[in-house]
Structure 1
Amino acid sequence: MTKRFDLAIVGAGPAGSAAAWQAAQMGANVVILDKAAFPRDKPCGDGLTARAVSYLQKMGLTEELKKFHRVNGVHVYSPSEWTLSFPHRPGMPDYGLVVRRPVLDTLLLHHAAARGVEVRESAEVVGPTQDATGRVTGVTIKGGETIAADAVIAADGAYSPVKRALNLDSQYNGYSAIAIRAEMAANRPDSDMLEIYLQLLFQGDQLPGYAWIFPFGEGQINIGLGYINSYRKWQQINATAFLGEFMSTLPRDWDLPPIEHLKKNKLVRAWRLPMGFTAWPPWRPGVLFAGDALGAGKPVSGAGISKALESGLAAGECAVAALTNGGPDDFTNYENRMEAAWGREYKRGRMFHKLVGYPKVSEYGLKLLDNHTFRDRMLKTLYKKAESPSTS
């Protein structure tokens, strides 16, 4: 017998678990499915911005967040050194956190379960079920079991099986970044700062991207780098070797392991980050897309966790509201929410994504950032905007 739910959510990352929690808060009967058993690893920079922290606070996780490593700003190398603190914004934290994804994602999944969400781990969704009109009516799990639902939220990642099965495309498809990271011990004092390295060269070209070092505390760090695919030679880059080259520029007395050792022990993970709305509109009859399945990553910078949480919370709320007040054929409310929140920003971001793919443009932009007069003026404007009560 096929079990029926108000909402079936595919993928238990931050977007999926946030959507499940939000929908359950509103009284919906929700199931969340993921092909993995938790805790499971997920390649990521593991950094939470102040905005990501604020969403977790809104979900009632303030006490749990105290266990994670706090960071108070960003130390930037461009190649000159300068510091960017998190701005003071009304009702917002002025700090970020660093936490491993197995820990964060398991916390969020258990938080959704505590609200009554049915959790199905090791349940790989292979595609949606549809009625005669093409409306999504549930999902099929590997092995043949079907889950019926009034609506589905696809939060199933960059290679979304739901999106692929529906053969969906978007005018914005193709905007993405390639990232790689490794976690390791380092012989250096623990830091309360994220570190960003903007001078990233490949065959003499200044890349549209950056490298990072994020501290977990207790002598552990996440080192990685990412670059966007508008760079004409991006497919020529061996990401693992490139990461090794970057690590070789770091202080010897940190005693970092060689990249060969990290690779041999499967500590190096790479991933693709779609950005700028790779599923648009973000819904079809019976289904909404969130997180990487939506292409929620912030263009160019690649910030993903805060965007996953925001899109998941919005998808959960909008799905239940639409089902309550009209049915599963129209989720324009979700489209309007995402357009209002990110539309203008992502439109500019997609234009910038194309522009900085030219090494000369990236090189010029880096020179501007390295000019302290220009940089101070830019940061003053950004802080003033961030501190405005009208800023969301």
Structure 2
Amino acid sequence: MGESTTEQKLNNLQCCVIIPTFNNHKTLRKVIEGVLFYTKNIIIVNDGSTDSTSEILKNFPQIQQLHLPENRGKGNALRLGFKHAESLGYHYAITIDSDGQHFPEDIPVFINELEKAENKNLLLIGARNMNQESVPKKSSFGNKFSNFWFWVETGIKLQDTQSGFRLYPIHHLKHLKFFTSKFEFEIEVIVKAAWHGVTVKNIPIQILYDETERVSHFRPFRDFTRISILNTWLVILTFFYIKPRDLYRKFKKKSIKRFIIEDFIGSNDSPRKKASSIALGLFIGLTPLWGLHTLIVIFLAIVLKLNKTIAFVFSNISLPPFIPFILFASVQMGNYILGDDQSFNLSEITENFEVLKHLKTYIIGSLSLGVIVASTLGIISYVLFLFFQKKKAPVANA
């Protein structure tokens, strides 16, 4: 692909290239010159370098430069670069590391992928071949570790989540809040982007690890600890907010009829899986874990690999109109199991909260009621699903 073609595409897509750099004087000039072959829309963020970086950059007055007085971290440099790019009217930014591991020749790969994509709300991550002999073992392990947690947090499987060679849709990211400023920012940004509807995918790129020139500023203990803390927080948010939010939005968009046809009867899950999902939802919905039903049922549905939508819907058996009846039935069940001879009526439970005086009775009763209802309706639904499955099965030709 010719120089002018790629440059024109970059201009048409309002895309620039951001190069964050910190003490990479051995490779910086080569990287800049390589990028200049494709575009002059370059923003250099000098993150407080103490080597000859400033002198090198004096030779490139034609490109945008941000010079920070002290090193604040790669994440901070990228965020400042995004903000500056947006102020200049760019909608996309390709980021490339200045340590020489990336090939500017791969810039057209990003541009072509963006150009042909129907959905332009796209974040591309260059996927490196981590099986090359030159790739350090710690980098390969760290990448696999990061890929796993990204899948847990977003449900998206990627080959490489740590590559710094990326294309960001900065006009779609400007309203998101970020809190990290070091290497972990590159994880935070792709997770939050995915949570907010940005398509995140890999594209293959070349990679070069030349230890004679490359200078890595990744500090294994400190930065790995930061990344681990970030992933812990993101996982908590995933299970306690993001997944319940997504299920609620999905269910809200559908009518009851559509839900029954598509997710309930028409789901490709087996009858056993759908029936088990119903049983799980009913059991959790009848337990005394008020306020935590949705969080717990989503977590267990994921762990047990059940249908999250079905489990979520049936956990809502404890909607406000049904609560008095559930409390009453639970207390009566508890009385029966414990052999207590105490009578209650709905008005006592709803007005005087008498159930709180007999918490043991209520808890035992609600758990028992949950087991009975979940088991009974789970078995009934399993039989019905088998019936519908056989009814839908094509009749074999004689």
| Range into which the TM-score falls when normalised by the shorter chain | under 0.3
Rg larger in 1 or in 2?
2
Bigger relative contact order, structure 1 or 2, given CA contacts below 8 A and separation 6+?
1
Per residue, is there more strand in 1 or in 2? Answer: 1
Per residue, is there more helix in 1 or in 2? Answer: 2
**TM-score between the two structures when normalised by the length of structure 1:** 0.24
**TM-score between the two structures when normalised by the length of structure 2:** 0.24
